[in-house]
Chains A and B, each alone.
Chain A
Amino acid sequence: MEVKEFEIWWKIPFKHSAGLHATKFFEGLKDGKILGVRCERCGRVLVPPRAFCERCHVETNDWVEVSDEGVVETLTVTYMKFTGLPDPPYAIGVVKLDGADTGMLCFLGGVDLSEWRKVHETFKPGTRVKAVWKEEREGKITDILYFEPLK
């Protein structure tokens, strides 16, 4: 006997409160600024900002603006299509911005993504990159369209 299958989709709306730290960061993005917080104990500048430093377990309220330029730490280009995820290829990387002590997850772009080895060569760790901003910003992480190699 063929076992019966039921197809079910989940669609549940959420209104996630971003909290004050993330809100300040997103308001900064609207103005083309990237904000972080400095941990008063370890001195690290955390980007994106968060309300406490998980290493030191202390509150963080010392706001600093960091650059929209930085260096690539690692990357990947996705070529496989996954249900519910964008059509490939797309490149994701971790960039440590000038003035920050933590890497930030971001898209990488501005180059042809069809050959992964070339993309990895272009963005190899240590490569200097700069943010390409959306023209009409709405206060979301995707206001930074991607980082591209610094010309």
Chain B
Amino acid sequence: MRIGIVGVGFTEFGIHKEPFYNIAFTAAKRALEDAGIERGEVDSFILGGYDNLGVGRTISNMYTAPAAGAYLRHEIRVSDDALFALPLACMRLRHRSDVTMLLAFGHSSETPIELVELQSLDPFFHRPLNLSLPAFFAMQSYAYRRRYGVDEEKIAEVVVKERENGSENPRAFVRDKVRVEDVLSSEIVSSPLRRLEIAEWCDGCVAFILAEETVARRLTDSPVWVSGLGWSLENYYFDREFQKLPFVAKSAEMAFKMAGKDRGDVEALEICDLTADYHCMILEALGFAEEGRGWDYNGDVNHSGGALCTNAYGSTGAFLLASIVERIRKGEIDCGLVQSMSGYAQRSCVAILEG
């Protein structure tokens, strides 16, 4: 049995003045409209996004249940970047759901996310050292650049390319182009990472309607099939090889195996480049570039502008997924891969989609 995406609903990605659940409601309504179905036809609701203090409520993803239309219905949540909710949605569809909604919420504008993420750290050994998310990312960037001798200019060129893509994507949050010299003169946040090399936080929601094969074919002539899924985990102590992302590699292996495909089948990638260095490291871990050469990859990656242009805390992976889905629906590509990661680069999820 195949599982297809038959509807997508985006909200604007930016800084919203409405509470996240009202934005989530808009995404849900748009997805239902796009799929051409009523809320009553959805028999299962999967809610993705962080349930931490990012929006100042514990179990915050619970607030998106009524927004999804899940009142008195079957609902379950995944407390992570919302791409991690896709495996659960697919599992649900394999077990007696005909139509499932995946609602992804992302919201960052109400509090300093660095302070929220710091609370995820162990309170004995790590939190007292004030390791902010950008500082951790920077330690990986430094290890990567030094181990492989990657010039700052090469990393800056990644940002330039991402910004060019973002400038042509009306859905992207950051749409201003930059030059290499702009990147290299932007201030150091945490060395060696500069402000323009780090994804900026924003808000935004996306909802998807998924259906099992028979229903999917009835609802649309162009379902986008979820062919492969994989996910994996790094350790929680920081004893790692900092220049590599082995958990990303593992998540990709799992997804390729399930899809029965190889790298050559994938025409486009959307990857969660929370920093320009992660852009390179992810491409390497996914098996699309040699170790230390991710910056040199000139394939079709992050047509959307990637996380570097749109990073809504909790729905970034869903934004990337929706970007691939849209391209498959338009007939631009037949097969695409989406990758997302979360935490202190601790978890990765990969999905392979095809038309």
Q: Do A and B bind each other?
A: yes
Residues of A in contact with B (beta carbons under 8 Å apart): 3, 8, 10, 14, 16, 18, 22, 26, 46, 48, 50, 54, 73-80, 82-86, 90, 92-94, 101-107, 116-117, 119-120, 124-125, 140-142
Question: B124 to A76, Cβ gap below 8 A?
Answer: no
A80 → chain B closest CB, angstroms: 5
B350 → chain A closest CB, angstroms: 22
A77 → chain B closest CB, angstroms: 5
Question: A83 to B115, Cβ gap below 8 A?
Answer: yes
Interface residues of B in 220-238 (CB under 8 A from A): 235-238
Question: A80 to B191, Cβ gap below 8 A?
Answer: no
Q: Any chain A CB within 8 A of the CB of B135?
A: yes
Residues of B in contact with A (beta carbons under 8 Å apart): 17-18, 53, 56, 112, 114-115, 118, 123-126, 128-132, 134-135, 138-140, 142-143, 146, 187-193, 195, 235-240, 242
A22, A85, A90 pick with most chain B CB within 10 angstroms: A85
CB < 8 Å: which of B53, B143, B191 contacts A125? B143
Question: A82 to B115, Cβ gap below 8 A?
Answer: yes
C-alpha gap A54/B236 in the complex (Å): 9
Question: B188 to A116, Cβ gap below 8 A?
Answer: yes
Question: A8 to B242, Cβ gap below 8 A?
Answer: no
Question: B134 to A80, Cβ gap below 8 A?
Answer: yes
List 12 interface pairs A-B (beta carbons < 8 Å), by A numbering: A22-B125, A26-B124, A48-B237, A74-B142, A76-B142, A79-B187, A79-B191, A80-B195, A82-B115, A84-B118, A105-B125, A125-B146
C-alpha gap A104/B238 in the complex (Å): 7
Q: A50-B237, A78-B134, A116-B192 are in contact. List 12 more A-B contacts (CB 8 A).
A: A76-B135, A76-B139, A78-B190, A78-B191, A83-B112, A84-B115, A85-B115, A92-B130, A105-B126, A105-B129, A107-B129, A141-B124
Question: B146 to A102, Cβ gap below 8 A?
Answer: no
B146 cross-chain contacts in A, Cβ below 8 A: 124-125
Question: A141 to B235, Cβ gap below 8 A?
Answer: no
C-alpha gap A115/B337 in the complex (Å): 40
In the A-B complex, the 8 residue pairs with the smallest Cβ-Cβ separation, listed nearest first, are A102-B239, A116-B191, A76-B138, A83-B112, A84-B115, A74-B143, A78-B190, A74-B139
Question: B53 to A92, Cβ gap below 8 A?
Answer: no
A140 cross-chain contacts in B, Cβ below 8 A: 128
A92 cross-chain contacts in B, Cβ below 8 A: 129-131, 135, 139
Question: B237 to A102, Cβ gap below 8 A?
Answer: yes
A18 cross-chain contacts in B, Cβ below 8 A: 124
Question: A76 to B190, Cβ gap below 8 A?
Answer: yes
Question: A82 to B132, Cβ gap below 8 A?
Answer: yes
Known A-B contacts A78-B132, A78-B134; the reply to A119 vs B56 at CB < 8 A is no
Known A-B contacts A18-B124, A74-B242, A80-B134; the reply to A120 vs B112 at CB < 8 A is no
Question: B235 to A54, Cβ gap below 8 A?
Answer: yes
CB < 8 Å: which of B17, B189, B237 contacts A80? B189
A104 cross-chain contacts in B, Cβ below 8 A: 125, 238
CB < 8 Å: which of A3, A79, A103 contacts B188? A79
C-alpha gap A126/B114 in the complex (Å): 29
Question: B128 to A75, Cβ gap below 8 A?
Answer: no
B191 cross-chain contacts in A, Cβ below 8 A: 76-79, 116-117, 119-120
- B121: nearest residue on chain A (CB-CB)? A105
A141 cross-chain contacts in B, Cβ below 8 A: 124-125, 128-129
C-alpha gap A7/B7 in the complex (Å): 37
C-alpha gap A66/B4 in the complex (Å): 55
A78, A85, A104 pick with most chain B CB within 10 angstroms: A78
